Structure 1
Amino acid sequence: MTIDYTLAREMMVEQQVRPWDVLDGRVLETLSTVPREIFVPEIHRALAYADLEIPLGHGDKMMKPVVEGRTLQALKLQADEDVLEIGTGSGYLSACLGSLGREVVSLEIRPEFAAAARARLDARQLGGNVRIEIADALQYETDRRFDAVCVTGAVAAIPARFAQWLRPGGRLFVVRGHSPAMEAVLQVNDVNGPRIESLFETDIPYLVGAAPAPQFVF
């Protein structure tokens, strides 16, 4: 059976993403045009537009389309803004961020994920403004500052270094807390200090090294 991915993409936007209060026109346009199926491992490609997480290997997963939509909407990216993405994963969200912003620097700790994501982006001539670096975000050092930081894996608590990469007025999207009741938040780098806005509840895999310490019960 041949899948009409263009139709599937339209249905994802209209039946999943838009009903979950993703109404930003630029975000909807991006989700309607970036071919999600090419970023999905071939074994799961038929599920590219389903309302579920898709395994990538090593316990990592692509977020549900609705969560990706809410993430992109929360960041309110403008065409002249630069983004730091923490966790390239499949490269799909990198492509979406690249479509919305000026430049994306994406950090990926797994070299095979980084290489596969780069190949997928290049195969469709997407992400010409996306640079993928192999790095551990919890150890990463840079003097550069960004308008937005998008974290695609959960953290038990938000590392201070993440906010240090923001310009004044910059926005940090991150999912924090303990599975299965995690909270997606937007931290804004305001003049008077960081301001945190609660967005929605979710449950996604932790970034490598960012899971809470195991609790031993005696």
Structure 2
Amino acid sequence: MSDSDAERAERAAFILGLRGRGIRDVAVLRALELVPRALFVDPTLRRHAYEDVALPIACGQTMSQPSLVAAMTEALALTAEHAVLEIGTGSGYQAAVLSHLASQVVTMDRYRALVSEAQVRFKVLGLRNVTAFLGDGTLGLPARAPFDRIIITAAGTELHKALVDQLKPGGLLVAPIGEARQVQTLRLFTKEATGLVAKDLMAVRFVPLVPGVATTL
């Protein structure tokens, strides 16, 4: 079996595993199948690329396990007309998955190194509808707002008003809510005329959402 054949077999098993973990949205599964997770992991961890595990990345951050990426993506109920804001670029894997489902994806991170590496990966994959920015995720990106969907991949005890303000009426926002270094609750928020309506999805663990831009990385 050639390397390419082995990779295809590995990715096919990966998708079957996600189906076994309850991911049913065919479009979401196809998006995950199209994005080579191996490109986003440290080469020393390549053997774990298609396992359902979180992996460490640069700047002391982590890359969520694929089943969680899939579940968060599924919760957004994306269509090809949607513009998405992601807070917490990390490796860029989640944004790459979103790019196959949405019209435009804007992703932000406080670490320059992560943004630069993600931009290179997006270019390698030819993803023209993803833009990565260095910035304070708690402030969002007003210049590109409003957004149909917002996904936050770092935890806080509450939602920042700036992000809620940048969500369109009727829009959806997915975020982990809770204290750092503790079990948090992944919640889906719908922006209705009377305010946000929340639905608890699952227990999760994410790194904290830290304000500001890192000065050294």
* TM-score past 0.5 threshold: yes
Distance in structure 2 (CA, Å) of the matches to 1:141 and 1:85: 10
Task: Give the counterpart of 2:189 among 187, 190, 203.
Answer: 187
Pairwise CA distance, 1:24: 0.6
Distance in structure 2 (CA, Å) of the matches to 1:107 and 1:11: 31
User: Amino acid of the residue matched to residue 129 of structure 1?
Assistant: N
2:44 paired residue number: 43
Say whether the 8 Å CA contact 2:58–2:114 is kept in structure 1. Answer: no
2:128 paired residue number: 128
2:115 paired residue number: 114
Pairwise CA distance, 1:33: 1.4
Distance in structure 1 (CA, Å) of the matches to 2:109 and 2:69: 18
Q: Which structure 2 residue ranges, 5 or more long, are not aligned?
A: 213-217
Answer with 63-72 or 151-160: which moved more: 151-160
* 2:140 is the counterpart of 1:105: no
1:57 paired residue number: 58
Distance in structure 2 (CA, Å) of the matches to 1:24 and 1:198: 19
Alignment of 1:140-151 (within 5 A): 140-143=140-143, 144-151=145-152
1:5 paired residue number: 7
1:152 paired residue number: 153
The alignment partner of 1:170 has SS state of strand
1:196 paired residue number: 198
Distance in structure 2 (CA, Å) of the matches to 1:139 and 1:194: 18
After superposition, the CA RMSD in angstroms is 1.8
Say whether the 8 Å CA contact 1:83–1:104 is kept in structure 2. Answer: yes
Distance in structure 2 (CA, Å) of the matches to 1:96 and 1:161: 25
Say whether the 8 Å CA contact 1:59–1:205 is kept in structure 2. Answer: no
Pairwise CA distance, 1:20: 2.4
Quick one: percent identity of the two aligned structures?
28
Pairwise CA distance, 1:123: 1.2
Q: Deviation string for 1:45-93 (max 9, x for gaps)?
A: 2211112111012221000011001000000010011000101111111
The alignment partner of 1:84 has SS state of strand
More strand by share: 1
Distance in structure 1 (CA, Å) of the matches to 2:79 and 2:140: 25
User: Amino acid of the residue matched to residue 48 of structure 1?
Assistant: A
Q: Deviation string for 1:134-187 (max 9, x for gaps)?
A: 101124451520000011111122222221111011000100112332100011
Distance in structure 2 (CA, Å) of the matches to 1:21 and 1:92: 20
Distance in structure 1 (CA, Å) of the matches to 2:139 and 2:201: 27
Q: Deviation string for 1:178-214 (max 9, x for gaps)?
A: 233210001100122210011111112112249xxxx
| Aligned residue pairs, count | 208
TM-score in terms of structure 1 length: 0.90
User: Amino acid of the residue matched to residue 121 of structure 1?
Assistant: F
TM-score in terms of structure 2 length: 0.90
Say whether the 8 Å CA contact 1:5–1:37 is kept in structure 2. Answer: no
> What stretches of structure 1 move > 4 A for 4+ residues in a row?
none
